[in-house]
Amino acid sequence: MSDLHHLHLEIPKSDKKRIVIIGGGFAGIQLIKSLRKSPYQIVLLDRHNYHTFQPLLYQVATAGLEPDSIAGALRHLFEKHKDFYFRMARVTGIELAEKKISTLVGDLSYDMLVIANGSKTNYFGNQEMYERTFPMKQIPQALNLRSHMLQNFEQTVMSPDIEEQDRLTNFVVVGGGPTGVEVAGALGELKNHVLPKDYPDIDFDIMKLHLVDAGERLLAGMSEKAGTRALKYLEDFGVDVRLGTRLVDYDGNNVTLTDGTVIPAKTVIWAAGVTGNTIDGLPEAVVDKGRILVDQYNQVEGHPDVYAVGDIAAMCSEENPRGFPMVAPVAMQQAQNLGKNLKRQLKQKEPIPFKYRDKGSMATVGRNKAVVDMPRFHFGGLFAWMVWMFVHLMSIVGFRNRLVILSNWVWNYMTYDRGTRLIIRTFLRNKQYKPGDSL
Amino acid sequence: MSDLHHLHLEIPKSDKKRIVIIGGGFAGIQLIKSLRKSPYQIVLLDRHNYHTFQPLLYQVATAGLEPDSIAGALRHLFEKHKDFYFRMARVTGIELAEKKISTLVGDLSYDMLVIANGSKTNYFGNQEMYERTFPMKQIPQALNLRSHMLQNFEQTVMSPDIEEQDRLTNFVVVGGGPTGVEVAGALGELKNHVLPKDYPDIDFDIMKLHLVDAGERLLAGMSEKAGTRALKYLEDFGVDVRLGTRLVDYDGNNVTLTDGTVIPAKTVIWAAGVTGNTIDGLPEAVVDKGRILVDQYNQVEGHPDVYAVGDIAAMCSEENPRGFPMVAPVAMQQAQNLGKNLKRQLKQKEPIPFKYRDKGSMATVGRNKAVVDMPRFHFGGLFAWMVWMFVHLMSIVGFRNRLVILSNWVWNYMTYDRGTRLIIRTFLRNKQYKPGDSL
């Protein structure tokens, strides 16, 4: 927002204690739901006015869904909540001693603070990668990737140079976690079923998909069976998967890998990892590798009224030295537990320590093909894909979104048609913004 | 698109005559449909890769529909056509003597040229209005307006100054044609039914809607009855309609009108008129007030193989000295007639002169309220609204879009909920682009 000088972050005072929540992701919205009708004043701050259902972000990037299908306006979500305030503001600092946070539109005091501002793309300090590759964390980034990809195909049909055509149509995905696997699978579907109809003048044999991962297998956070299955599915799509391989260099035109291979590519998707989205003003002692150290109640050590939940929180223990995985179910369960404890606190009851119930994880690789890990068994194929569909449909925000997504999926399934291949957000590399910027 | 230097506009040669069509609007796509299976090679050029259903653009601007509901990818529309080529390129000039057009990616020769690149917002030479007001001609512009509007409401809740709150929530619509009336009606709906739920902290009495028009009545292109009805509907919504009034000045903060009134407003929507979207290289003699003079066969005088159709074409005659109105039905009927004539030409048959069949016109002012002019009778109200819905639903491109729009309308009708109030395209005034720019 421009012209912020005249604004002022002021929330009406009430006799209730004020909980300020930073971030409207999975943790933030779950916490607000858990605290509904409890005698707290809730203030939610987020720099976007919407919640993003990140597990389906790759569908926005690959023109399968429109942004409104995977996002919910935060105000709308909580319009029935009493003594709830949303402010669209970026938090720039925390002053623990004074119990207040700072934003670009002023300061705000709190009685309790919940830091739930998630994670951001991890470039591991590599500025080149930040400037030249496409991340997949936010909707504007996914739309940048979509526009870039479609513009490249429009250029391909006008390119007289076969090498340039190759470069414009090649994709390199860095990272073999769920995001990398899912986006590679979606690109495989586009290549095999969608794009050849749109671009009859392109010989799609020149379009090559690569996925590189430094590890020994795909989906390291899931079972070995899931990793092996995902590998097979991707290879069926023609994706060249290179494990134990890293990207050494990318100049915007050519990718160089550790094994010496050089791949000409105008599009590199960076799904290599995430790191905590920290905020200035926290004592150094409580921040480790971008995450905030919390105890088993999600409380920040030494600060009884400050909590961190979700991706940003590192709840380390002896059996779990690196904290829980940075995934939505952990965020939601932590938020639920914290909500319960904040209500117990009002009744002077002891807080309950967090306990993670792993209900399983899943990833999809195009239609009919998914992998599902349940605590006791692992499976794949069409049934896994249907489970994946059902679980995602049920967990997405808003009844209307569910209907839109379901009808989209049914339509895509029957027709292989994706209706959203419009270049609306013209992507101008090196001109106005970087791929990772969120305009 | 960046890096265009390496591209080259080349279309495979065929033994058929090549028709180059500039513009994928109503005229362009109708002509291509009419020429399907005729022995011509068709090349369509457009700087966007999609067709826009402009009559519903105001719904995108007011967060009622998502862009994909009112747009169709041009390649997708014609994927079953043979010897058809789409190129996403901006035409920069025409060289009639050499029978070729120039674009940023090279030249292209034609046997026949059809100029169908429509109209653009007419600022009547006023650079300030171009820089400070929001036009409503293209999807990116509608999205700019949507983001700007929602950002202003987010600022309003953080503004300590009542005058500033007033300025942020006021809207001035300039122009009382269909676009102005429809957008004012949609804003009235937002004010009365949608926004108060999202922003319980705002007293919506401060949000004032104004519509100014220099003429004596609204909807000058329709019947007097329609104009009077639209006025009543708008006033029911609380819109302050000022006829016989012009905007004198707008500095980005205050609108000054000819009657001396000063309205504080951060948002002015410019729907005051359109003008032909001309191309360089046409002889001066054939261009009049931004439109290209054509005979009754849509042929450009003195250039047997060059045609202009739709908004850009001025087909003037004694009984019709200013040409036909710049509306979709004229464009589509002209394109249909031209298609017929181009096919007749192959059989050495005489061309048929264009004859406009006015099937009526309509405008809507919020749910339940529309005005319809049929050749023999005029009506309004709920029935008119249903006719409006049906006609628009039937004329929009693509079966899938129709389903999406219908389900949106039914949902909005039942719930007064609009699901798309996401600020995804952050609008930064005076920072990176102007309201009218199409990024």
Q: Above 60 in pLDDT, residue A439? A: no
Residue B330 lies in a domain: yes
* Buried-exposed string B323-338: b where 16+ CB fall within 10 A, e elsewhere: bbebbbbbbbbbbbbb
**B166 and B303 share one domain:** no
- The verdict on B288 and B151 lying in the same domain is no
Q: Which residue in chain B has the smallest CA separation from A427?
A: B1
> Does B431 map to a domain?
no
Same structural domain, A265 and A279: no
pLDDT at A400 over 80: no
Of the candidates A88, A400, A422, the beta carbon closest to that of B73 is on: A422
Closest residue in B to A419 (Cα) is B68
User: Residue A108: its chain B contacts at CB < 8 A?
Assistant: none
pLDDT tens for each residue of A169-201: 999 999 999 999 999 999 999 999 899 999 999
- A339-375: buried (b, 16+ CB within 10 Å) or exposed (e) per residue? bebbbeeeeeeebeebeeeeebbbbbbbbebbbbbee
Please report where in the chains the tokens 């999807």 appear, as a residue: B139
In a domain, A167, yes or no: yes
Domains of chain A: total:
2
Residues 6+ apart with CB under 8 A from A140: A425, A437, A438, A439, B424, B425, B426
Cβ–Cβ gap B49/A154 under 8 Å: yes
The pair of structure tokens assigned to B263 is 């309205």
**B429 interaction partners in chain A (CB closer than 8 Å):** 2-3
Q: Determine the average pLDDT of the residues in A139-152.
A: 91
Last residue of a domain, one of B313, B346, B379: B346
Q: Which has the higher per-residue pLDDT, A403 or B271?
A: B271
In a domain, B160, yes or no: yes
B7 contacts A422? CB cut-off 8 A: no
CATH of the domain at B142: 3.50.50.100
Contact A223, A378 (CB under 8 A): yes
What is the Cα–Cα distance from B298 to B356, expressed in whole angstroms?
Answer: 12
Quick check: A143 and B424 CB within 8 A? Answer: yes
Residues of A within 8 A of B428 (CB-CB) are 1-2, 439
8 Å CB contact between B257 and B247: yes
Tell me the C-alpha distance between B28 and B179, whole Å: 22
Task: State mean pLDDT over B46-75.
Answer: 91
Of the candidates A300, A295, A296, the one whose C-alpha atom is nearest the C-alpha of residue A278 is A300
Amino acid present at B241:
V
Which of B147, B424, B432 would best serve as a mutation to test chain A binding (most A beta carbons within 10 A)? Answer: B424
With CA atoms as reference, the chain B residue closest to A157 would be B87
pLDDT of residue A426: 64
Average pLDDT, chain B: 90
Per the structure, the complete domain to which residue B406 belongs is given by 127-272+367-415
**C-beta separation of B139 from A424 below 8 A:** yes
Note whether B424 contacts A9, CB cutoff 8 Å: no
Amino acid identity of residue A410, one-letter, is V
Is A420 domain-assigned? no
A381's tokens? 């194929």
Q: How high is the pLDDT of residue B242?
A: 98
The reported pLDDT for the residue numbered B428 is 53
Same domain as B253, residue B146: yes
Residue A134 reports pLDDT greater than 50: yes
B145 shares its domain with B196? yes
Same domain, B237 and B206: yes
CA distance B230 to B384: 12
Is the Cβ–Cβ distance between B286 and B265 less than 8 Å? no
pLDDT of residue A332: 96
Q: Which residue of B has its CA nearest to A4?
A: B155
Look at the alpha carbons of A210, A164, A435, B58 in this order and tell me if their dihedral is positive or negative. Answer: negative
List pLDDT tens digits, range B361-371.
999 998 788 99
The single residue of B154, B182, B224, B301 carrying the catalytic annotation is B182
Rounded to an integer, the average pLDDT of A8-17 is 92
User: Chain B partners of A79 at a C-beta cutoff of 8 Å?
Assistant: 197-198, 200
Annotation marks residue A79 as catalytic:
no
Residues B95 and B203 reside in one and the same domain: no
Answer yes or no: do A68 and B67 touch at CB < 8 A: no
| Predicted confidence (pLDDT) per residue in A87-117, tens digit | 999 999 999 999 999 998 999 999 999 999 9
On the question of pLDDT at B3 being above 70, the answer is: no
Compute the mean pLDDT over every residue in chain A, rounded to the nearest whole number.
Answer: 90
Cβ pair B2:A429 closer than 8 A: yes
Give the tens place of pLDDT for each residue, A330-352: 999 999 999 999 999 999 999 99
Which residues partner with B210 through β-bridges? B172, B240
Task: Let me know whether B197 and B334 are in one domain.
Answer: no
What does the block give as tokens for B87? 């190129």
* A281, A93 contact by CB (below 8 A): yes
Element holding B50 (H helix, E strand):
strand B50-52
**Residue pLDDT, tens place only, A220-239:** 999 999 999 999 999 999 99
- Asked whether the beta carbons of residue A150 and residue B2 sit closer than 8 angstroms, the reply is no
A1 is a domain residue: no
Do both A339 and A254 map to the same domain?
no
Q: What is the pLDDT of residue B241?
A: 98
Report the range of poorest mean pLDDT among A296-300, A435-439, B64-68: A435-439
Q: In the Cβ-directed half-sphere of B372, how many Cα atoms lie within 13 Å?
A: 20
What confidence tens digit (pLDDT) does each residue in B217-255 have? Answer: 999 999 999 999 999 999 999 999 999 999 999 999 999
Domain CATH number, residue A288: 3.50.50.60
Identify the residue among B10, B11, B14, B49 best suited for mutation to test binding to A, counting A beta carbons within 10 A and taking the highest: B49
* CB-based contact A424 B400, cutoff 8 Å: no
pLDDT computed for residue B89 by the predictor: 93
Query: Tell me: the pLDDT tens digits for A36-91?
Result: 999 999 999 999 999 999 999 999 999 888 888 888 899 999 989 999 999 999 99
B94 belongs to a structural domain: yes
- C-alpha A287/C-alpha A390 separation (Å) is 37
Provide the number of CB pairs (under 8 Å) joining chain A to chain B: 176
How far CA B9 is from CA of A206, A253, B104, in Å, comes to 20, 22, 9
What is the distance between the terminal CA atoms of chain B, rounded to a whole angstrom? 10
Q: What is the mean pLDDT of residues A135-157?
A: 92
Share of chain B above pLDDT 90, in %: 72
Same domain, B226 and B323: no
Task: Check residue A372 and give its pLDDT.
Answer: 92
How confident is the model at residue B1, as a pLDDT? 43
Q: Which helix (H) or strand (E) holds A371?
A: strand A370-373
Question: Is the Cβ pair A198, B75 closer than 8 Å?
Answer: yes
Residue B426 counted as domain residue? no
* A7: nearest CB among B159, B200, B404: B159
Quick one: DSSP state of residue B230?
Answer: H
Q: Which residues of B160-180 are buried (b: 16+ CB within 10 A; e: fewer)?
A: eeeebbbbbbbbbbbbbbbbb
Per-residue pLDDT of B146-174, as tens digits, reads: 999 999 999 999 999 999 999 999 999 99
B383 and B311 together in one domain: no
Set of chain B residues whose Cβ sits within 8 Å of the Cβ of A429: 2-3
Same domain, A154 and A300: no
